[in-house]
Amino acid sequence: MSEFGHGNGNAFGHDKNSKDLKDEGGIDLAGESQSQSKSFSGGQGSDLQEASLDESLSKALEDPVTGGSSEDNQDSGSDVASNEANHFSPDQPANPRGLDPNQVERVSGDVTQFLGETGDLLDGQGGTNTIIAGSDSDVIKSDTEGAFNTIATGFGNDVIVLDLEATADILDFDTNTDKFALGEGLTLDRIIYGQGQNPDKGGLEQPLDSENNTLILDRDTGHTLAATRFTNAEDLSEKNFVVFDESAAPDLVEQA
């Protein structure tokens, strides 16, 4: 397992001024195999941010499903993603609802338009990862099949890319500023979300479907695309989703 401290805005991703978007989909930030647990960060995090997330991040480095040490649980990404703890019936969340395609923002151009001046494009790729964004607006890719990404978005207006059979466990999603983008395997009609109903407590170790969390599911498979901790599903809406047209990177274009 490798751990990285906060970078300078360039060490683990591409800043806004970078011209090289490798393979139109980001870079291998940790340089490790998909079966290993990885932890990395980008941008310039503040002392306040780091202090408030200390406990969250130490818990995040544990295995997301079993609660054991990530070093003791070197599961492959596909094993993590296929675990029943990541799958729920679409009618399991309270008041499940879909998205109105007419109310979802569609954008042209490259995904890097969402980056702040010191923002990063962060890609955990496969396996079990802890992703710590910085103090500016970042794009975080949680779209590799089989990946389980525990994410601290930090400050800024962040965009998290979702896709089939990948899960984003988000510690601090801000429903006022942060957004989800759909990867190439997802369409708007497959998105369903609602409040978890699991009464089990446990703070940072609570299950994905905790009543404290909003669950975002793939309607067709029941796979958990994202869980936003300590949020109300009522606060999430079409304003928190975005799709790209054909001028975007190929892996971000909404499929017909």
Residue 103 has φ and ψ, to the nearest 5°, of -105, 0
Whether residue 146 contacts residue 78, with contact meaning beta carbons closer than 8 Å, is answered with: yes
Going residue by residue through the chain, which has 256 residues, state the pLDDT in tens, using 9 for 90 and above: 333 333 333 323 344 433 333 333 332 323 333 334 566 566 544 333 444 455 555 554 444 433 333 333 334 344 555 577 789 999 999 999 999 999 999 988 777 788 888 788 899 888 999 999 988 899 999 999 999 999 999 989 999 999 999 999 999 999 999 999 998 889 999 999 999 999 987 777 789 999 999 999 999 999 999 999 999 999 999 999 999 766 555 455 444 3
Q: What is the dihedral of CA 45, 48, 52, 56, to 10 degrees?
A: 10
User: Using one digit for the tens of pLDDT, what is the confidence trace for 150-204?
Assistant: 999 998 999 999 999 999 999 999 999 999 999 888 999 999 999 999 998 777 7
CA distances in angstroms from 104 to 34, 101, 142, 180, 240, listed in the order given: 33, 5, 20, 11, 8
73/64 Cα distance (integer angstroms) = 10
The dihedral sign for the CA sequence 256, 173, 221, 81? positive
Q: Cβ of 249: how many Cβ atoms within 10 Å?
A: 18
Nearest to 77 by CA among 39, 123, 38, 36: 36
207/196 Cα distance (integer angstroms) = 9
Check: pTM over 0.75? Answer yes or no: no
